[in-house]
């Protein structure tokens, strides 16, 4: 991989080194971007950063609509914690 920051570096710290994997994923962007990101999600599943049963939400459309839909997704209750962004396995 070329020099620079690798996505695994960031997801590793966000999951506390795979201690708390993501239980839900939201991908936002154009069709090609979503296709590439799906590949990353599968790699992250294999490496234990995302649970195997984590649902993947896709948001694609005009920028303003994507922003609104992403805000709705971010503010909805997630997992079993009943709070926005809560991880159900904590």
Please check whether residue 3 lies inside any domain of the structure. Answer: no
The range of the structural domain enclosing residue 55 comes to 21-75
pLDDT per residue as tens digits for the range 35-66: 999 999 999 999 999 999 999 999 999 999 99
Please check whether residue 26 lies inside any domain of the structure. Answer: yes
Please check whether residue 51 lies inside any domain of the structure. Answer: yes
Please check whether residue 7 lies inside any domain of the structure. Answer: no
Please check whether residue 58 lies inside any domain of the structure. Answer: yes
Please check whether residue 59 lies inside any domain of the structure. Answer: yes
Give the pLDDT mean for 27-35.
95
Tell me if the pTM is above 0.95.
Answer: no
Q: Is the pLDDT of residue 87 over 70?
A: no
Judged on CB neighbours under 10 Å (0-12, 13-18, 19+), 22 is buried
- Comparing CA positions, the residue from 42, 31, 28, 24 lying closest to residue 88 is 24
Please check whether residue 86 lies inside any domain of the structure. Answer: no
Q: Domain count of the chain?
A: 1
Please check whether residue 10 lies inside any domain of the structure. Answer: no
């Amino acid at each position: 991989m070329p020099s620079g920051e690798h996505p695994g570096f960031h997801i590793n710290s966000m999951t506390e080194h795979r201690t708390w994997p993501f239980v839900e994923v939201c991908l936002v962007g154009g069709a090609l971007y979503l296709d590439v990101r799906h590949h990353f999600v599968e790699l992250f599943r294999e490496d234990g950063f995302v649970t195997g049963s984590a649902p993947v939400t896709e948001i694609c459309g005009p920028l303003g609509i994507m922003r609104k839909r992403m805000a709705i997704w971010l503010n909805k209750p997630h997992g079993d914690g009943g709070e926005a962004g809560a991880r159900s396995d904590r």
